[in-house]
A and B are shown apart, each in its own frame.
Chain A
Amino acid sequence: MRGIIAGLRNDPRARRIAVGIALALVVAYPFFASAYWVDVAFYLGLYTLLGLSLNVILGEVGLFNLGHAAFWAFGAYTTAILNTRFDIPILALIPISALATAGFAWLVTSPIIHLRGDYLCIVTIALGEIVRLALNNDPGGITGGPNGIFGIDRPRIGGLVINTPTEFYFLVWIIVVLCAWALLRLQNSRIGRAWNYIREDELAAECMGVDVRAFKLLAFTLGAALAGVAGNLYAAKMMVVSPESFTFMESCLVFMIVLLGGMGSVPGTLLGALVVSLFPELFRPLASYRMLIFGIALVAVMYFKPAGMWPRRRATFRSVIGREAGKA
């Protein structure tokens, strides 16, 4: 096993083959699985997307955000309100939800972006709660209060209405794969390096001319935009959004996806999402004990693998040389 992983890391061709096999499995999966398990895989995709979006904030830059559900909710409600009031098609609302959520994130995180560590953590918890309570209190009659908003349309592409579990599965996984690919590209860019630099040593980054504030805000807005997309997909799938779907527990789950997988690791996020969404399914016979076990499991993973299950490997001289050799 260790040999295979090392091979994947050092040999670009083996890695490409592995990614190819993984993609083929993702495409083939719904043709073999039952509708129920395709649905489970849809939610896995949704949580992966949420995990990836938080990974930008928490994993890449190290900003503790325990209120991610706020952004997810904002995207879902943007979609729900614009769709039910103005009949804008769901798919057209994907970029609109992303932009609106990014704008919201920029607005609310600008004044708090300078806070460090635990303080930022607690403010984001407060932010998540404020958003949930505000949705619940129905300001101006636009959020529908505790009942939420229902009667959201199905997404349609031309004449095709996306309705069955399989169609939704493909919709979410196409977006997940695109996002994962884009985020992997971003890791090796000027922006990605600046983010990691801030995470490792903020002061040093600032001294080397990295605009810490701007890059932190960029991470928050980009992460929020992706969470907004996840919100859009969630609203389209459920056809109803209500405040109780966006509790602190959801923020915790997404937080755990990133930390269980490994901070800043895209495949790790997928693995983390797999654990968090399959756990309740696999332990269904134990029904009421499963969250109890989940709590113990979290402590255990942090004890045995504090860096996560699939940590991102730091770039070393050797790995860069290996990459250059692979190109030649």
Chain B
Amino acid sequence: MVTFVQQFLNGLTIGSFYAFIALGYSLVYAIMKLINFAHGDLFALGSYVAYSFLVWASAALTAALGLWGALAVAMVVAGVSVAIAGLLMERVAYRPIYPAGRLPAVVSALGVSIFIENFIMLVWGPRYQAYRSEFVPVGYFQIGELRISILQVVILISAVILLGFLYWLIEKTTFGAAVRATAQDRATAALMGIDFRKVIRFVFTVGPALGAIAGVMVGLYYRQISFSMGWIYGLKAFVATILGGIGNIPGAMVGGILLGLLEAMFAGYVSAAWKDVIVFAVLMLILIFRPTGLLGEKVAEKV
């Protein structure tokens, strides 16, 4: 029972990372119909930016705001700088190529992905970097044999708040309606007076920013980051996107959490070495038997 609860909590934590990253994929896909292969690398970039920021400023910030305050500032810094990178990427590598068709855009996305990954490697070096212990909160609650770290609790609470806010923004506000309308039919949405450039700017700001926040959380949670970690997180988050239905915002959240739970349970009870295989096998099964995802996709193209 203790193992089960422990794995369940681990699964929820990993799942919220996937949910954050999956939202970026899903938003961009919904608007641009493009798999943004560079998204996972933006996530890694966020992790590194926060790392450097914390190395530089954590002592002063911790003295002024406390450790949690310093971490919050680091997340904002990472989120803003990666959002700028995302906007720049859209302007330079996607907007000029998009009219040429979807395949050139995919290659361009791969190019950006390779660029960012190597950029990180050149700036921070090819070895693993460790989030130092002075900026990682270490406390935990002990309930019987069960041990829950405070960090895990904070990650889960902030995930609920952020994802809830985004859900409200997309599903309940006028601007959210504009985003959803653009996802359904860009031309008609434009005729209704929706500025789709604004929508595109929105998805390339919010997606990368959420990815960066996930990057900081992963750094704090596992303490170790590498320049190439973006690709595997990105790929799994994409599986989560498909699981929930591509272009479906609540779907991406549910898909992320489900995938995290599945992975943690499989790793805990069956085999850790085969857990990634199971993730990808689930992807194939979903696409074979329920190609619109568990919650249904929100885009027009049929599978």
> Which A residues are closer than 8 A to B by beta carbons?
64, 111-112, 114-119, 121-123, 125-127, 129-130, 133-134, 137, 248, 252, 255-256, 259-260, 263, 288-289, 291-292, 294-299, 301-303, 306
B residues less than 8 Å from A117 (CB atoms): 102, 301
Given A112, A123, A302, which contacts B100 in the complex, CB threshold below 8 Å?
Answer: A302
Q: A134-B277, A299-B93, A306-B101 are in contact. Are A292 and B115 (CB under 8 A)?
A: yes
4 residue pairs, one from A and one from B, having the closest CB atoms: A298-B111, A295-B115, A306-B100, A295-B114
Residue contact B114 to A294, C-beta cutoff 8 Å:
yes
- B242-270 CB mask vs A (1 if < 8 Å, else 0) is 10000000000000000000000000000
Residue contact A302 to B104, C-beta cutoff 8 Å:
yes
Residue contact B103 to A259, C-beta cutoff 8 Å:
yes
Residue contact A291 to B118, C-beta cutoff 8 Å:
yes
Q: Please measure, in the bound complex, the distance between the C-alpha atom of A49 and the C-alpha atom of B210, giving whole angstroms.
A: 41
A residues less than 8 Å from B73 (CB atoms): none
A residues less than 8 Å from B103 (CB atoms): 64, 259, 263
Total inter-chain residue pairs, C-beta < 8 Å: 124
Residue contact B238 to A298, C-beta cutoff 8 Å:
no
Within 8 A of A (CB), among B93-143: 93, 96-97, 100-108, 110-119, 121-122
Nearest-Cβ distance from residue B99 to partner chain A, whole angstroms: 9
**Interface residue tally on B, bucketed by range:** 35 or more
- B274 interfacial by beta-carbon distance below 8 Å: yes
Q: Please measure, in the bound complex, the distance between the C-alpha atom of A299 and the C-alpha atom of B106, giving whole angstroms.
A: 10
Residue contact B284 to A127, C-beta cutoff 8 Å:
yes
Q: A123-B287, A256-B107, A297-B111 are in contact. Are A129 and B122 (CB under 8 A)?
A: no
Q: Please measure, in the bound complex, the distance between the C-alpha atom of A129 and the C-alpha atom of B276, giving whole angstroms.
A: 8
Residue contact A125 to B235, C-beta cutoff 8 Å:
yes
Closest to A121 in B: B35
Q: Please measure, in the bound complex, the distance between the C-alpha atom of A255 and the C-alpha atom of B37, giving whole angstroms.
A: 14
B residues less than 8 Å from A114 (CB atoms): 303
B residues less than 8 Å from A127 (CB atoms): 280, 284
- B154 interfacial by beta-carbon distance below 8 Å: no
Nearest-Cβ distance from residue A138 to partner chain B, whole angstroms: 9
Residue contact B111 to A116, C-beta cutoff 8 Å:
no
A residues less than 8 Å from B100 (CB atoms): 302, 306
- B55 interfacial by beta-carbon distance below 8 Å: no
Residue contact A302 to B108, C-beta cutoff 8 Å:
yes
- B302 interfacial by beta-carbon distance below 8 Å: yes
Residue contact B122 to A116, C-beta cutoff 8 Å:
no
Q: A248-B231, A292-B115 are in contact. Are A298 and B291 (CB under 8 A)?
A: no
- B213 interfacial by beta-carbon distance below 8 Å: no
Would you give 16 A-B contacts (Cβ < 8 Å), ordered by A? A64-B106, A112-B284, A112-B288, A116-B303, A118-B29, A119-B287, A122-B283, A126-B284, A133-B276, A133-B280, A248-B231, A288-B122, A292-B115, A295-B113, A296-B111, A298-B107
B residues less than 8 Å from A123 (CB atoms): 283-284, 287
Residue contact A302 to B280, C-beta cutoff 8 Å:
no
Nearest-Cβ distance from residue B34 to partner chain A, whole angstroms: 8
Residue contact B287 to A115, C-beta cutoff 8 Å:
yes
* A119, A263, A289, A298, most chain B CB atoms within 10 A: A298
Nearest-Cβ distance from residue A128 to partner chain B, whole angstroms: 9
16 new A-B contacts, CB < 8 A, other than A122-B239, A127-B280, A303-B97, are A64-B103, A111-B288, A116-B302, A118-B33, A119-B291, A121-B106, A122-B287, A123-B283, A123-B287, A126-B239, A291-B118, A295-B115, A298-B108, A302-B105, A306-B97, A306-B100
B residues less than 8 Å from A291 (CB atoms): 114, 117-118
Residue contact A302 to B97, C-beta cutoff 8 Å:
yes
B residues less than 8 Å from A296 (CB atoms): 111, 115
Q: Please measure, in the bound complex, the distance between the C-alpha atom of A278 and the C-alpha atom of B122, giving whole angstroms.
A: 22
* B97, B103, B274, most chain A CB atoms within 10 A: B103
Residue contact A302 to B303, C-beta cutoff 8 Å:
no
- B273 interfacial by beta-carbon distance below 8 Å: yes
A residues less than 8 Å from B102 (CB atoms): 117-118
Residue contact B108 to A299, C-beta cutoff 8 Å:
yes
Nearest-Cβ distance from residue A187 to partner chain B, whole angstroms: 19
Q: Please measure, in the bound complex, the distance between the C-alpha atom of A111 and the C-alpha atom of B283, giving whole angstroms.
A: 13
- B5 interfacial by beta-carbon distance below 8 Å: no
* B96, B100, B280, most chain A CB atoms within 10 A: B280
- B281 interfacial by beta-carbon distance below 8 Å: yes
B residues less than 8 Å from A298 (CB atoms): 107-108, 110-111, 114
A residues less than 8 Å from B92 (CB atoms): 299
Given B35, B104, B122, which contacts A118 in the complex, CB threshold below 8 Å?
Answer: B35
Q: Please measure, in the bound complex, the distance between the C-alpha atom of A297 and the C-alpha atom of B114, giving whole angstroms.
A: 11
Nearest-Cβ distance from residue A158 to partner chain B, whole angstroms: 43
A residues less than 8 Å from B112 (CB atoms): 295, 299
B residues less than 8 Å from A248 (CB atoms): 231, 235
Q: Please measure, in the bound complex, the distance between the C-alpha atom of A116 and the C-alpha atom of B302, giving whole angstroms.
A: 8
Closest to A256 in B: B107
A residues less than 8 Å from B107 (CB atoms): 255-256, 259-260, 298, 301-302
Nearest-Cβ distance from residue B30 to partner chain A, whole angstroms: 12
Given B101, B242, B280, B303, which contacts A129 in the complex, CB threshold below 8 Å?
Answer: B280
Nearest-Cβ distance from residue B252 to partner chain A, whole angstroms: 14
Q: Please measure, in the bound complex, the distance between the C-alpha atom of A112 and the C-alpha atom of B114, giving whole angstroms.
A: 28
Q: A112-B287, A263-B103, A291-B118 are in contact. Are A122 and B111 (CB under 8 A)?
A: no
